[in-house]
Amino acid sequence: MSIDGVVGRDLLAAAPGVAASTGSACRSGVFTPSPVLTAMGMDSARALGALRLSLGRWSTPRDVATAARLLTAAVIGDAVPAAGGR
């Protein structure tokens, strides 16, 4: 998922109850656009805003709803700085 004007790592910092990643597992800790997303035609700003949310065997609809609520609250509540504000 990606939200215009939001940097993925800032969104995760503003929603600490969500376990997600801003890139692939092999690129952990790297703050550059995902080569996979850019190869798919996504521009750099949008790729930096992307979050990788995964579901597992034991994930429930309630888990999905909670993650959606926390991420939405972080964006709507202005807890995430605008990407252009750097």
For the stretch 46-73, pLDDT in tens is 888 888 898 999 999 999 999 999 999 9
Question: Rounded to whole angstroms, how far apart are CA atoms 18 and 14?
Answer: 9
Q: Is the pLDDT assigned to residue 83 strictly greater than 70?
A: no
What Å distances lie between residue 80 and 8, 39, 41, CA to CA?
9, 27, 25
Active site residues: 26
- Contact assessment for residue 33 and residue 76, using Cβ atoms and an 8 Å cutoff: no
Q: Is the pLDDT assigned to residue 9 strictly greater than 70?
A: yes
pLDDT at 36: 85
